[in-house]
Amino acid sequence: MFYIIMIVIFLVSLIIQSRLKSLVAKYSKVPVASGITANEAVDQMLKENEVYGMVVKHIDGSLTDCYNSKEGTINLSDTTYNQNSIAAVAIACHEAGHALQDAKGMGAYKVRQAIAPAVNFCSTAGVYVTIAGVLISHFLERNLGNGFGYTVSTIGIVMYSVAVIFYAVTLWIERDASKRGWKAMQQFGWVSQDQLGAAKKLLWAAGDTYAIALASSAATLVRLLMMRGGRRR
Ligand SMILES: [Zn+2]
């Protein structure tokens, strides 16, 4: 059952990826009605929200756009930097949305920053510790006393939960950044009504990739809980 769910999640993630790519390809060719560039849009969005001192940087690649909190940079890729397509402006405004979250001290953003360094370790170690607990329950319970394996498994599950929380918070943050970016596009009238719809479609498709990461980690968590089972009496 677990494997079927994981295969379904994998297939859905492929669909989401290809849909996002085709939306980006499509809307990278259409300039926004106002002709504003991604960089100008970011500047205006930051100014309107009284966020100063951010640097907009050009980075290589496509869809590699990101906000760097440590350096205070909004990094825009080849297909975004100084471009005036719907995709470029939407993506740049999304990244500016992250800069606003950071500057305004959004709670979820702080939580994400705090747990980010531990996520890789917790998700990997969590699985192994849970399995170790299950093995202890099966083979060593008599020597180590009742419930020891169960306790070890529970520790593993708690560790893995950190990763699930991280993906949930990330999804929340990504949707919020898209909302902020999209609202700016609407408020400043950079795009036509039709283009506003296109921008929304694109931003939400990008956010769906985070939803699938959350679904996958949640399914793994359920699997770990099933492996551990109930406490033996
Ligand atoms: Zn983002």
pLDDT digits (tens, 9 = 90+) for 72-126: 999 999 999 999 999 999 999 999 999 999 999 999 999 999 999 999 999 999 9
Query: 99 CA to middle of ligand 1, Å?
Result: 10
Find out whether 75 and 95 touch, Cβ atoms under 8 Å.
Answer: yes
The least confident of 88-92, 127-131, 145-149, 195-199 is 145-149
Q: At residue 198, does pLDDT exceed 80?
A: yes
Phi first, then psi: give them for residue 79, nearest 5 degrees.
-85, 0
- % pLDDT > 70, the chain: 97
Has residue 2 got a pLDDT over 90?
A: no
Beta strand ranges found along 53-185 (DSSP E) = 55-58, 66-68, 73-76
Q: In what order do the strands lie in the sheet with 66-68?
A: 55-58, 73-76, 66-68
pLDDT at 212 over 60: yes
Q: What is the pTM of this model?
A: 0.90
Greatest pairwise CA separation for the chain in angstroms:
74
How many whole angstroms from 174 Cα to the centroid of ligand 1? 5
What one-character DSSP code corresponds to residue 145?
A: -
Mean pLDDT of 50-71: 94
| Average model confidence (pLDDT) across the chain | 93
Cα 161 to ligand 1 centroid, rounded to whole Å: 22
Å from CA of 132 to ligand 1 middle: 36
Measured CA to CA, the distance from residue 44 to residue 51 in angstroms comes to 10
Compute the distance from residue 178 Cα to the ligand 1 centre, in Å.
7
